[in-house]
Every structure is written in structure tokens, then in C-alpha cells.
């Protein structure tokens, strides 16, 4: 794997040209050969009506979906306070107080990933949404009928009827998941790097461009590329130097195949400075730590302080500028 991977990366490095002397346009061209702007809409959103999206938004913030009314999706994927889409805990804490196994990834841009969860065990956002509802370490609901009852007693019938006009009894788990997915499909972030990729060459400054080139030259782009700088592949954590925490086997827990041991979905790096702590186990408290660690475990290199800082400066361009409006009408953001 390492060999194959180096053989892909080396020509890239050659292409990029490790020495100085980049012109404005060549940096931009190099960037466009690895990254692309975020799409204006997510795949699958074509049929999402505004009634479906606003139902999904209401459900996303609905604490009645947890056993003791203490938690909503937003508790662990916060779009409200700091708009990060995470809870900033090493591992999430469920409605009943138990600590989960993994760090909560952000819901921003999640629908652009190849699959959901660190181990990819849900293919789509709609499939994913059913897991937290019934996970005892998350919302801990005990049955589908309990969820349906809660939604009826909270007066959701009209909202569901509007979102699913053809159904006579529209409140069910499938439709709940569909609505949650539709809302999350609107969560496409907006940042300066995107403006840069779209053609505004001054959207990021000179030191951010230098950081971008460090990120490319060091080989981070081998895994973190495309529109969300990740989200498209599963890679072993510790591909060069083993990762110390061996507890979580990642994708192998889903496939049962030992060849998938310690494979995790390559996370998106959009808005990365706002989603600490990092990694599936939340072990890296700071971005500096995460950059150093990935350099070592994924590339076998010791990045010096200046390189780490330069990459961090580039990450500034990925800060999300979009805010979810929480108005009384629950007006969806991207429609």
C-alpha cells in the first residue's frame, strides 16, 4: 500500500515542482489540479421541496427525538452556537450520559462524502439518520413507534403532511430520515478557498498560498483532495508509522475483513480550524498536533514548526462563513 501510494505521490510532487518560483497563475492551476469548488447543490437534492427541508430543519433541532428530551442532532452537531457542526468533545456524550466511542464529525458537507461515519457503515444521509435515534449512547429511543408517538404529540402531523402530501399517514421513521437528510443536504459551507478555486485569485493571501503549497508538496493532497479536501476514500490511519491507539479497528468492524483494520474515512478539511479535537478518537486536541501526527503516521515525515504553522495558515481559508438562520419560520439557508 505504502509503495503504491508513494508511486502516485512522487510524480505529483515532481509536477508541482518543489523549488521556488511559482507564479500567481501556476499556484492557482496547481490548486485546481487537486481541488474543486464546492457544488452549489448536493446530489439528491433535486427533489427536495422547501416543505421537506424545513421539516428536516425542525427535526434536527428537536429534543423530543431523544429518550429524555435532552438531546437533538444539534447537541452533537452544533449549527447554532459556533456553527461548527460538532460538539468539541473527544467522544460524544449521549442523552443518558454514556460516553460514545468516537469523535463527532461535522454535518457540514457530510452529504458530499462517499459514505457516512468514520467507518462508512451508512451509505447515505437518510440511512445515517436512523442510527443516532436508536443508539443507546446517543439519543437512546427504544422503538420506532416511540419516535412516531413523540412526533404526533409534538404536533408534527401538519409539517409531515406538507412535506409528504401523497401519504395518508406520513409520520414514520423513513420520512423522518428523509427530511433530516434533505435539511443536511443544504449544509454546504462557504469559504475563501472556494472563492479562490472559483477564480478569485486574491481571495487568499500570499502566506495562505504558501501554506497551500506546503500542503500540496508534503503530500497531504494524496488523500485530502477534491471539493471537501477528503471525504472520498478510506485510508489506514498509520499507513507509514502505526497509530498508537489500536482500540478502534475502523472499517474492519463493518466488513469483518482484517485488511480493513484501522481504515477510516479520510475526513473533510473544510472548516477544520473550528472542529477540534481531531481524529476518530479525538486524540489530537489542537490542529498543530493533528498536522504533526498526520505528517508522521500518514507520510512518514517530521514536519517542522514552520511547516506546521504554514499549513495551519492555509487552513484559515477553509473557515466556514455561512450561518444557519434560526428565525421563527425556520427558513432554510440554501434555498
Catalytic residues: 138
Contact code string over 145-184 relative to ligand HEC, x by CB under 6 A: -----------------------------------x----
Residue 128 binds ligand HEC (CB under 6 A): yes
What is the signed CA dihedral for 255, 259, 264, 268, rounded to 10 degrees? -110
Q: Are 168 and 143 in contact (CB under 8 A)?
A: no
Smallest gap from Cβ 13 to ligand HEC, in A, equals 12
Interface residue with ligand HEC, options 55, 79, 235, 318 (CB under 6 A): 235
Contact code string over 45-84 relative to ligand HEC, x by CB under 6 A: --------------------------x-x-xxx-------
Q: Are 182 and 48 in contact (CB under 8 A)?
A: yes
Contact code string over 268-287 relative to ligand HEC, x by CB under 6 A: -x--x--x--xxx-------
Q: Are 194 and 322 in contact (CB under 8 A)?
A: no
Would you say 164 or 278 has its CB closer to ligand HEC?
A: 278
Let me know if 261 is exposed, middle or buried by CB neighbors in 10 A (0-12, 13-18, 19+). middle
Smallest gap from Cβ 199 to ligand HEC, in A, equals 25
88 annotated as ligand-binding? no
28 annotated as ligand-binding? no
Q: How far is CA 215 from the centre of its chain?
A: 19
Would you say 102 or 209 has its CB closer to ligand HEC?
A: 102
Residue 275 CA to residue 264 CA, distance in Å, equals 17
Q: State in Å, rounded, how far the first CA of the chain is from the last one.
A: 43
144 Cβ neighbours under 8 A, 6+ residues apart: 172, 173
Smallest gap from Cβ 23 to ligand HEC, in A, equals 24
- Omega prior to 277 cis, within 30 of 0: yes
Residue 110 binds ligand HEC (CB under 6 A): yes
CA distances from 40 to 43, 109, 194, 256 (A): 10, 11, 11, 37
H or E, element range at 264: strand 263-265
CA distances from 59 to 95, 135, 332 (A): 16, 17, 13
152 annotated as ligand-binding? no
Cβ neighbours, 10 Å, residue 147: 21
Residue 90 binds ligand HEC (CB under 6 A): no
Q: How many residues contact ligand HEC, by CB under 6 A?
A: 50
Interface residue with ligand HEC, options 30, 266, 313, 324 (CB under 6 A): 266
Interface residue with ligand HEC, options 30, 213, 220, 227 (CB under 6 A): 220
Smallest gap from Cβ 4 to ligand HEC, in A, equals 11
Q: Are 308 and 292 in contact (CB under 8 A)?
A: yes
Residue 141 binds ligand HEC (CB under 6 A): no
Residue 42 CA to residue 82 CA, distance in Å, equals 23
Q: Which stretch binds ligand HEC (CB under 6 A): 21-29, 47-55, 289-297, 324-332?
A: 289-297
Would you say 17 or 244 has its CB closer to ligand HEC?
A: 244
Smallest gap from Cβ 5 to ligand HEC, in A, equals 6
Residue 117 binds ligand HEC (CB under 6 A): yes
Reading phi first (left if > 0) and then psi (alpha if -120 to 50, else beta), residue 234 is in beta
Residue 27 CA to residue 189 CA, distance in Å, equals 23
Residues that bind ligand HEC (CB under 6 A): 71, 73, 75-77, 92, 94, 100, 102, 104-105, 107, 110, 113, 116-118, 125, 128-129, 132-133, 138-139, 180, 218-220, 222-224, 235, 237, 239, 264, 266-267, 269, 272, 275, 278-280, 290-291, 294-295, 298-299, 311
Q: What are the binding residues?
A: 73, 76-77, 220, 223-224
Amino acid at each position: 500500500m505504502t509503495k503504491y501510494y508513494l508511486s502516485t505521490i512522487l510524480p505529483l510532487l515532481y509536477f508541482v515542482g518543489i523549488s521556488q518560483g511559482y507564479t500567481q497563475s501556476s499556484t492557482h492551476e496547481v490548486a485546481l489540479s487537486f481541488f474543486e469548488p464546492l457544488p452549489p447543490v448536493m446530489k439528491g437534492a433535486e427533489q427536495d421541496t422547501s416543505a421537506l427541508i424545513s421539516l428536516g430543519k425542525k427535526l434536527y433541532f428537536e429534543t423530543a427525538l431523544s429518550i429524555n428530551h435532552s438531546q437533538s442532532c444539534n447537541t452533537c452537531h452544533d449549527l447554532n452556537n459556533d456553527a461548527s457542526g460538532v460538539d468539541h468533545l473527544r467522544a460524544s456524550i449521549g442523552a443518558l450520559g454514556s460516553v460514545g466511542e468516537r469523535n463527532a464529525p461535522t454535518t457540514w458537507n457530510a452529504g458530499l462524502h462517499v459514505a457516512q461515519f468514520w467507518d462508512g457503515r451508512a451509505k447515505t444521509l437518510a440511512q445515517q439518520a436512523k442510527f443516532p435515534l436508536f443508539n443507546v449512547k446517543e439519543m437512546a429511543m427504544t422503538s420506532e413507534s416511540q419516535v412516531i408517538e413523540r412526533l404526533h404529540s409534538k404536533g408534527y402531523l401538519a409539517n409531515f403532511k406538507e412535506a409528504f402530501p401523497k401519504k395518508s399517514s406520513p409520520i414514520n421513521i423513513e420520512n423522518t430520515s428523509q427530511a433530516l437528510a434533505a435539511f443536511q443536504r443544504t449544509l454546504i459551507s462557504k469559504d475563501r478557498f472556494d472563492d479562490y478555486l472559483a477564480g478569485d485569485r486574491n481571495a487568499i493571501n500570499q502566506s495562505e498560498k504558501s501554506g497551500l503549497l506546503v500542503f500540496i508538496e508534503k503530500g497531504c493532497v494524496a488523500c485530502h483532495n477534491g471539493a471537501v479536501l477528503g471525504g472520498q476514500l478510506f485510508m489506514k490511519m498509520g499507513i507509514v508509522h502505526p497509530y498508537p491507539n489500536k482500540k478502534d479497528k475502523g472499517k474492519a468492524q463493518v466488513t469483518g475483513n482484517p485488511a480493513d483494520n484501522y481504515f477510516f474515512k479520510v475526513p473533510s478539511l473544510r472548516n477544520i480550524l473550528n472542529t477540534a479535537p481531531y481524529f476518530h478518537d479525538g486524540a489530537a486536541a489542537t490542529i498543530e498536533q493533528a498536522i504533526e501526527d498526520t505528517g508522521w503516521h500518514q507520510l512518514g515525515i517530521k514536519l517542522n514548526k514552520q511547516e506546521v504553522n504554514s499549513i495551519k495558515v492555509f487552513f484559515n481559508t477553509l473557515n466556514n462563513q455561512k450561518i444557519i438562520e434560526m428565525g421563527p419560520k425556520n427558513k432554510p439557508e440554501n434555498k
